[in-house]
Structure 1
């Protein structure tokens, strides 16, 4: 079994995070599915104080992964971004969006976020 990938904790300490068992509960999935989503790069985790955690903003209030997040992560990975760089990009403000890419994804502006991610490959 492969290990679960994790980015360095490049997030602001104020970004709310959830330990993996809580992510599984919110998604109403077994924790093994969360592990597989991390291995498949559909979600990203960071290690905070020795514990794997996922930013709470990656999940909706309805208990789903934010629409467009897995595709955006894939585009950035395919462009050569490391997990640390993907995490940093998602949580760094972009005046042209405006706001952070994760906020735009949560606000149903996923196409624009994905376009910007694709443009980074060139």
Structure 2
């Protein structure tokens, strides 16, 4: 779900943002499909930058081995987003957790997910429920 929280809150945590049309181009789908992914909770989008346009963290995308030159959404992202939402985290809190180094992982959870450490990340997230 998109959020229009204070930019100072989270925008600087993310190394690179992609606006929705850029996400669509990189994964080879129509803009409306990316918006559906956001509505369905498969992606998080936030209003960032001077123009406050909807954008997604670039780290949510990885190269698609089946389609050279295109990316796809990090496969482990959807389950991780669901787990954090079930733990009571809102979208901004989820973004903060994903992009802030976690002591038990020795890196930010998004980096661990991108490295294939899905079970370890999910285990770390289990302790977050309140």
TM-score norm. by structure 2 comes to 0.84
CA gap 1:27/1:88 in 2 versus in 1, 3 angstroms: same
Preserved contact between residue 17 and residue 53 of structure 1 (Cα < 8 Å): yes
Matches within 5 A, 1:15-94: 15-48=15-48, 49=50, 50-62=52-64, 63-94=71-102
CA gap 1:7/1:106 in 2 versus in 1, 3 angstroms: farther
Q: CA deviation at 1:76?
A: 0.6
How many residues in Structure 1 have an aligned counterpart in Structure 2?
Answer: 119
CA gap 1:14/1:88 in 2 versus in 1, 3 angstroms: closer
Question: What is the Cα-based RMSD across aligned positions, in Å?
Answer: 1.6
- Following the alignment from structure 1 to structure 2, what is the Cα–Cα distance between the partners of residues 7 and 110? 29
Question: Per-residue displacement from partner, 1:100-120 (whole Å, max 9, x unpaired)?
Answer: 000000000011111221221
CA gap 1:13/1:87 in 2 versus in 1, 3 angstroms: closer
- Following the alignment from structure 1 to structure 2, what is the Cα–Cα distance between the partners of residues 7 and 76? 19
- Following the alignment from structure 2 to structure 1, what is the Cα–Cα distance between the partners of residues 129 and 120? 15
Aligned to 1:109: 117
CA gap 1:14/1:64 in 2 versus in 1, 3 angstroms: closer
Structure 1: unaligned runs, 5 residues or longer: none
